[in-house]
Amino acid sequence: MRFTIYQESRQGGRQNNEDRIAYCYSREALLMVVADGMGGHFYGEIASQIAVQTLTDNFQHEATPAIDDPFRFLQKGITNAHHAIIEYSAKHGLKESPRTTCVACIIQDNIAYWAHAGDSRLFLMRGGKVVAQTRDHSRVRLLMEEGVINEAQAAKHPDRNKIYSCLGSDQPPEIDFSRKTLLENGDILLLCTDGLWGVLSGEMMAVALKGSNLMNTVPMLLSQAETKAGAHGDNLSVVAVRWEQSYHDEENQHSVSTQTMALDEVTTRFDEFGRNPAYKTDLSDDEIEKAIDEIRAAIDKYNPKK
C-alpha cells in the first residue's frame, strides 16, 4: 500500500478535549478511527479513549498482515468498546455512563470498509466532490430526511447536537456499515468530529483538498473552522488519507509505503490517555496512571487476545 495520512485534534473553544483519534497500518491493511466523547468531568474523554484504544488494540493483534473480515472486525470492535465503557461506568458507580460517537474505516486490497455510530462523519472525496458519506444518527438528520427542515435550518436547529446512537448508552449502539467501496488513485477519505464538519461542509473541504498537499491543507481547514466557530467552538478532530493505488505511483516526501514491512509489523499513531498536551485534563499524574490502568482493565475484559 502507498498513502499519505494526516491526523490532528484541537481543543477549540472548550475547556478540554474529549475527542480521540488514531490510525494503524500493517503491510496490507490500514485502520483509521475518530471518536467524540460526551460526559461530565473527564469521563467523556475516557469513553472516546476506550473506543479508539479498543479498535487499535484489536488491529494490532488481528492485522496479520490483513484483516480476515473487515466488517466483522469493525462490528466487534465498536460493540466491545460499548461494553467496556459500560463496565468502566459500573465500576465507578457513575449515575450516567459516559458516551462517545465512533467512526472507523479499514482499507485493504484497494477497498474501503467503514462503520459508525453517532454523528462523527466519514467523507469519501474524489475529484473535488463528495461521492459518499456517513449519515448521522441524529434527530436533525431524521427531520431532514422527512422533509421537515432543510440543510440551512439544520445547521441552527436547537437539537442539532442530539444523537440517538452512541457507545456507552443504555441501549446498544446502532451501527451503520458502508458497502465494500473500491478506491481510485487520489481518493481522499476524511474522518472527523462535528467540530469540523459542523463549521465547514464536506463539499467545501473536498474542493479545498482537490489536488492539494494534504499535510498543508488539512491543518489549514482546521484553522479556518476553529476561527469561524469562535470562542465557543467545539473540539475539532480529523484523520485524512489520500490513497495512492500502487507502489509505483509518483512518490512524495510524505507518502507511506508498506511494501517492505514485515508480516507481523504494525505501526500505530495513538496517544495514551492524558499523555498528549492537546487533550487537556485537570487530573494529576497519579490519577492519569490510575485511569490508564482502569481503561486497560475494562478493554481487556472484552478484548480477549488470540
Cα(3)–Cα(246) distance, integer angstroms: 9
CATH of domain 2-302: 3.60.40.10
Residue 162 has which C-alpha cell? 442530539
Q: What are the start-end ranges of the H helices in 42-118?
A: 43-62, 70-91
| Distance (Å, whole) CA 75 – CA 175 | 7
Q: pLDDT truncated to tens, each residue of the chain (306 aa)?
A: 999 999 999 999 998 999 999 999 999 999 999 999 998 767 999 999 999 999 999 999 999 999 999 999 999 999 999 999 999 999 999 888 899 999 999 999 999 999 999 999 999 999 999 999 999 998 888 888 888 888 777 777 777 778 999 999 999 999 999 999 999 999 999 999 999 999 999 999 999 999 999 999 999 999 999 999 999 999 999 999 999 976 555 557 789 999 999 999 999 999 989 888 888 888 889 999 999 999 999 999 887 665
Question: How far is CA 215 from each of CA 66, 82, 218, 252, 301, rounded to the nearest angstrom?
Answer: 27, 32, 6, 11, 38
What is this structure's pTM?
Answer: 0.94
